[in-house]
Amino acid sequence: MNWDLKGKRALVTGGSRGIGRAIVDMFTELGAEVLYAARGEVDDARAIQADLSDPAGRELLVRTVTGRWDGLDILVNNAGTNIRKPWVAMTAEEREKVLGLNLTAPTELARSLHGHLRNGTGAAMVNVASVAALVDVGSGTAYAMSKAALLQFTRSLAVEWAADGIRVNAVAPWYIRTPLTRPVLDDPTRLERILARTPMRRVGEPQEVAAAVAFLAMDRSSYITGQCLVVDGGFLACGM
């Protein structure tokens, strides 16, 4: 077992920017053949334009991947979104948008691609959750509940799929410098509060989350399943 992903075929959702783009780039650097899903238009032969909050978009993605590859070694469910509003202030459409992309999309993709992952190669699925799944960080209830459910999905599915030779794990980042977090990090007052609760006194970079995902996707982590690797600069360990 080497510290690389040579010979692996990987699908990454939300792969055009932020954490997803860092995962695509790192997987490629480590030798994997990568396809990624992106909602917007992209000029990249590896990209599949698909809105994963829409069943038709998920069907297109699955059809494209299964048509190109006879098996899949790695599935990274990274695509996600947030609408920063209190629970009672959110419309039904807004709630469904957050829950649909953060929870329904990864769970349905896992179901649809199970047969492709069950290819005898020791496949791995990695879900990108959040520390908001474990403690309240002011991100809003809809986002937090979607990520918490994704973590329990990870644990339960790891048990279900162990007999199929498919490992299922998750990563839970704290604040990472991405387009999604830019509105928060650009606010000096909020940034000061975030850094005060982070022992390493900085926000994370997308490549630092990508490294954790890559490890969980490697054969080197072959006895790890049902786990959540927190990438938070010490945030969860910090009390007073």
Q: Would you name the residues annotated as active-site residues?
A: 143
Tokens at residue 173, please?
A: 């980042």
Q: How far apart are CA 109 and CA 103, in angstroms?
A: 10
SS3 content of the chain, % helix, strand, coil (to 5): 45, 15, 40
Tokens 């030798």, residue located: 31
Tokens at residue 51, please?
A: 């809105």
The single-letter code of the amino acid at 187 is D
Q: Which residues on neighbouring strands pair with residue 204, listed in sequence order?
A: 176
For residue 134, give the nearest of 172, 169, 98, 175 by alpha carbon: 172
